[in-house]
Structure 1
Amino acid sequence: MTVFAQPASLKRPAVREHYEDTILNPVDLVNHADLLDAQVLQSLRDLFPSERAQLWGVTPGVGEANLPQIRKMRAGDVVFFSGNKRLYLVGTVALTWHNPALAHRLWGVDEKTDQTWEYMYALTGVRGIDFPMEEIRSLLSWKPKRNVQGFVALHETDGAILTDLVGFDDSAQGSPPPGPKDPSPPPFGPSDAAAAAQRRAEQGPLKKALLPGAEGECALCGRTLPRAFLVAAHIKKRAACSEEERWDLNNVAMLACLLGCDSLFEHGFVTVEEGGLLAVSPVAAGAPAVAKYIDEHLAGKSIAWWSTEREKYYAWHRSHTFQRGALTPDQVNT
């Protein structure tokens, strides 16, 4: 899986219009069947039974500078949209194809380059996020003024950090299976070893603070369960926490059960609103077994673990991990 950064500043009127026309309002494929190759149209219909899809595209660039990056993109890759000094949207690539005529119909041409966004892709699992660039620079150890300047495949490590923060599961994104296992994997580097040691140092006190006895209560579903079925789950992803936050043992984490609640929170199917009411992502409805579990164990819950001291961590989860739909330009611009 490759992770891409897609510049798309909604402060630019043309970009805002394109975003509203083909992301906020999915494209009706039937209306454009005349310009779609038969094989591409069938693939889109197979992927999107409603025959409506969220589409975006990339221009060739001056001197075809974008082509080396574009040629890396495959179904299952992840794209982060960048603009307004933040990453504000993420989705998974469902299909890629080349179609200048359709791109011209949907988006016209870029006045600066006289090119259209002809290298097209359809997205699935689109969700709004709020990652300020200051936070991205810190997390990825970028230089203080670095921004996403062009359509680009991110370094593998940077992509892994970002997808982990939004709760993407590589195996669920359509990525190809891994190749043969290297019988002699490289050892941890110094930074990896230090990070692993730090996590181990934190985990003991963290779990002891949350679960001093043989049983504990899941913060989400409220069931009392044996210790083996509960984990100390970070409300705000550990990788995004400051050193002070990582040791805020009474607030940065919560007990979550391994019977479903931990994974649902980790992957953004549920979150906790300010005040403690549990919120359910609209994407849960597309997974009947998930929706059934939520309906039986979580729907309508008021989370007693929520507090004003923990709210900043829950607020981070809502803006970074919770699976909500694409944000409106006004929501991104605030």
Structure 2
Amino acid sequence: MAYWYASQGVVRTFNASIDEGILWTCERPQGKWTGEDRTNIRHMGEGDIVFHHSKSYLRAVSVVIASWEDAPRPTSHYPGLDGEEDDGWLVKVQPLETGLKLSYKDVAQLIELGSPGPFTAAGMPQHKKFLSRLGDADGNQLLHHLGLEYVDEGLYGRPSAEWLGDDTDGLSISTIRNEQSALRRHLLNGRPVAPCSLCQTELPACLLVAGHIKPRTLCSEQERKDYRAAMLICSLGCDALFEWGYIVVNANGRLEPGIPAETRPLEAAVAKLSGRGCTAYDEVTAPRFEFHRRLKVGQLHQ
């Protein structure tokens, strides 16, 4: 997960990011150098956090939900400069917090100044610089100052990311944990021992977590209130393998490899699960498992 600062001087393109959930740019006109502030869009990945700056203020925060794809200039954007192409790169984002108004002077007090960042050494926004990558410390500092929190440490040891913002997300960490606890209690239904939905191993309740099938950050308000959005999954390995996408559930409800395993022990762990049926798979949960599969193997934007 990375942090990005998007400087969108034109209000129209900022509005498009919020209303349409997109970031778009293209190469500079022929004969002019295309800097990394534009090509950075091809390094953005699902789960990255974006800070949106427009007209002297940091105005919104979003999360990337689909990495870049080739795309024509959106109709919401102004025509390009003379010689500028209408073919470019598009990233899909989901706004997480809007209506912010943090002055660039305040932002300059919170992040490292100078290139390759979004501000000059004197604390002024870089002229015509679109996308800059922020260090983890700078990203976390901005979130903290805005009263937001992106938890990269899962509940009950789960390595998922939980966003605390408006509505359901506008909760304290303890409230989020209570929500997860209620999900887990419902799935256990009073049982002191239950099987993992993936490996089917019977385990004590303390070793089972309520794992969201579709990442919670990308669930609608209605989905977050639906007990069928989660499954019981063991903390002995299945939870992490599913969360990171090493194992996914196919259209037949069976487990199969997802992203490539980097080590032989990991490959062996995935192979041991592959081909098993997922007991949480049915007509209700099928679309959520498919969303997870496409998200993890990088096909959500296709």
TM-score scaled by length of structure 1: 0.47
Change (3 A) 1:227 1:153: farther
| Structure with the bigger percentage of strand | 2
Asked whether the equivalents of residues 28 and 84 of structure 2 are also in contact (C-alpha less than 8 Å), the reply is no
> C-alpha deviations, 1:271-296, integer Å up to 9, x for none?
11223111212512x42121111223
Does the 8 Å CA contact 1:214/1:227 hold for their aligned counterparts?
yes
CA distance in 2, matches of 1:65, 1:194: 46
**Equivalent residue, structure 1, for 2:212:** 234
Deviation at 1:196, TM superposition (A): 3.3
Aligned to 2:160: none
Which has the higher relative contact order, 1 or 2, with Cα contacts under 8 A spaced 6 or more apart? 1
2:266 aligned with 1:290, yes or no?
A: yes
Confirm whether residue 323 of structure 1 aligns to residue 297 of structure 2: yes
When the two structures are aligned, how many residues end up with a matched partner?
A: 201
CA distance 1:3–1:219, change in 2 (3 Å): farther
Q: CA 1:79–1:231 in 2, change beyond 3 Å: closer, same or farther? A: closer
Q: Distance in 1 between matches of 2:84 and 2:129?
A: 15
Identical-pair percentage: 25
1:78 aligns with 2:44: yes
Report the AA paired with residue 272 of structure 1. Answer: V
Instruction: Tell me by how many angstroms 1:261 deviates.
Output: 0.8
**CA distance in structure 2 between the partners assigned to 1:201 and 1:193 by the alignment:** 14
Structure 1 or 2: larger helix share?
A: 1
Instruction: Assess if the C-alpha contact under 8 Å between 1:233 and 1:256 holds in 2.
Output: yes
Residue 248 of structure 2 is aligned to residue 271 of structure 1: yes
Give matches, 1:86-165, under 5 Å.
Answer: 89=67, 112-113=83-84, 136-137=93-94, 139-140=95-96, 152-153=130-131
Q: Hey, what's the Cα distance between the residues in 2 that align with 1:198 and 1:154?
A: 34
Aligned equivalent of 2:107: none
Aligned counterpart, 2:286: 311
Segments of structure 2 that go 5 or more residues without pairing to the other structure are 7-24, 47-63, 70-81, 100-127, 149-163
Moved over 3 A (4+): 1-5, 57-68, 77-80, 86-91, 111-114, 139-143, 176-179, 185-193, 195-198
Alignment match, 2:201: 223
Q: CA deviation at 1:204?
A: 2.3
Letter in 1 for 2:235: L
Deviation at 1:142, TM superposition (A): 7.0
Shift, 1:301, TM fit: 0.4
What CA RMSD, in Å, does the superposition of the two structures yield over aligned residues?
A: 4.6
Q: Structure 2 CA distance, aligned partners of 1:299 and 1:287?
A: 16
**Given the superposition, is the C-alpha separation of residues 87 and 234 from structure 1 closer, same or farther in structure 2, using an over 3 Å criterion?**
closer
CA distance in 1, matches of 2:4, 2:146: 25
CA distance in 2 between counterparts of 1:198 and 1:275 reads 36
Q: What secondary structure sits across from 1:315 in the alignment?
A: helix
